[in-house]
A and B are shown apart, each in its own frame.
Chain A
Amino acid sequence: GAVVSQHPSWVICKSGTSVKIECRSLDFQATTMFWYRQFPKQSLMLMATSNEGSKATYEQGVEKDKFLINHASLTLSTLTVTSAHPEDSSFYICSARGGGYGYTFGSGTRLTVV
């Protein structure tokens, strides 16, 4: 079946630095990538939707300059958290749609900003 490889699985960074999270679709082309954020014991909050080669569409309340999304190829999308602060600490999950597989989720990245 379809697999989305997401890494790193966890990262600790200092306040003010930037962190990049990658999601790669293996064996299929992800025409659309979704990025979610999950707070402890809560549901997934959709942050943005990106189509390959286009600018991402951000949900209301999500700062596009802080959460930079790049979807330059059909197999790779990245989320960069710029100038991270402790309140950005969260679990980030990507989901790829394409290849007739429906939605395939990455394994998530736990970001801790200290």
Chain B
Amino acid sequence: GDSVTQMEGPVTLSEEAFLTINCTYTATGYPSLFWYVQYPGEGLQLLLKATKADDKGSNKGFEATYRKETTSFHLEKGSVQVSDSAVYFCAHLSGNTPLVFGKGTRLSVIA
């Protein structure tokens, strides 16, 4: 069935380091892809999304490109900040089915 696999954390980085969080998916058809962020004690917020192959979603310095050939949607940021510490969820959506989430990757950025 449909699924999302993302790298397990926790990921600990120093401020201004480069971030990559890998995400791959399996789905029938052509899903839309999302990254959500969850700050401590809060719900989920949409970080960015891409709806078709080769689309690049971007927001707050984060980017992810929809790669159909590798079924991937890796999240990247060139220079992380302490305020980026959170849990990041990759997700995909096909048709009218509910969002399918990955297990989440906890990112801790230290000053």
Q: What residues of chain A have their CB less than 8 Å away from a CB belonging to chain B?
A: 6, 34, 41-44, 46, 49, 93, 95, 102-103, 105-108, 110
Contact = CB atoms under 8 A, between A and B. Distances in A.
B66 to A, nearest CB: 16
A6 B42 CA distance: 11
Residue in A34, A42, A93, A102 with the greatest tally of chain B CB atoms within 10 Å: A102
Contacts of B104: 41-43
A82 B42 CA distance: 24
Nearest to B4: A43
A7 to B, nearest CB: 12
B32 to A, nearest CB: 8
Contact of A103 (B41, B42, B99, B106): B99
B102 interface: yes
Residues of A contacting B: mostly: strand
B103 interface: yes
A89 to B, nearest CB: 15
Interface in B36-51: 36, 41-46, 49
Contacts of B103: 42-43
B101 interface: yes
Contact of B43 (A46, A49, A102, A105): A105
B89 interface: yes
A93 B101 CA distance: 14
26 contacts: A34-B99, A41-B106, A42-B103, A43-B89, A43-B101, A43-B102, A43-B103, A43-B104, A44-B44, A44-B89, A44-B101, A93-B43, A95-B44, A95-B99, A102-B49, A103-B46, A103-B93, A103-B99, A105-B44, A105-B45, A106-B43, A107-B42, A107-B43, A108-B42, A108-B43, A110-B41
